[in-house]
Structure 1
């Protein structure tokens, strides 16, 4: 069963996760009490926008404008589904 984000959803990081730049690795990481997830640039850009104030279409629109690439909707939704399944995104 898919947990694909609804249009009205305003994704945000789950309570125990924190996104930060890791200078030594020169990339963003997702920190949580039990460890750390190293993120690629695309994942970091999506998660940076998951602050609970933007809905999924707004996140997609920002990314499409920032990177001048369209369409990104399916890719962003797939990643958000992946992140939600791992508990990175609050339900």
Structure 2
């Protein structure tokens, strides 16, 4: 069994091999395509996942989102951390 990936502010998230962020024309929305799975993203999740490029840390992503949306950093960190941990637990995000 594989050890659970824990997302922290220092984690550098990215999509693993075989997982893609794509715009689905038939659904007219953004999705994450993974082997035998599809995840539909709402606008908030899309803004977060778009920034998971394997280069920026969670802290950097949070800073960018807090500045872009003029929202409190601590609130953004909590929400981003929860989403990224959920995606990591489903093995559609690597860190």
TM-score of the two chains, using structure 2 as the length reference: 0.83
Which range is displaced more, 64-73 or 38-47?
Answer: 64-73
Consecutive unaligned residues in structure 1, runs of 5 or more: none
Q: 1:81 aligns with which of 77, 81, 85?
A: 85
Is 2:26 the partner of 1:29?
A: no
Consecutive unaligned residues in structure 2, runs of 5 or more: none
Q: CA RMSD in A?
A: 1.7
| Partner SS, residue 28 of structure 1 | strand
Q: How far apart in 2 are the matches of 1:9 and 1:56?
A: 6
Q: Residue 87 and residue 64 in structure 1: after superposition, are their counterparts in 2 closer, same or farther (change >3 A)?
A: same
Tell whether the 8 Å contact from 2:34 to 2:92 is kept in structure 1 after alignment.
no
Match of 2:56 in 1: 54
Count of matched residue positions in the alignment of Structure 1 and Structure 2: 90
Q: How far apart in 2 are the matches of 1:66 and 1:23?
A: 27
Match of 1:7 in 2: 9
Tell whether the 8 Å contact from 1:4 to 1:78 is kept in structure 2 after alignment.
no
Shift >6 Å, 4+ stretches: none
Q: How far apart in 2 are the matches of 1:65 and 1:37?
A: 27
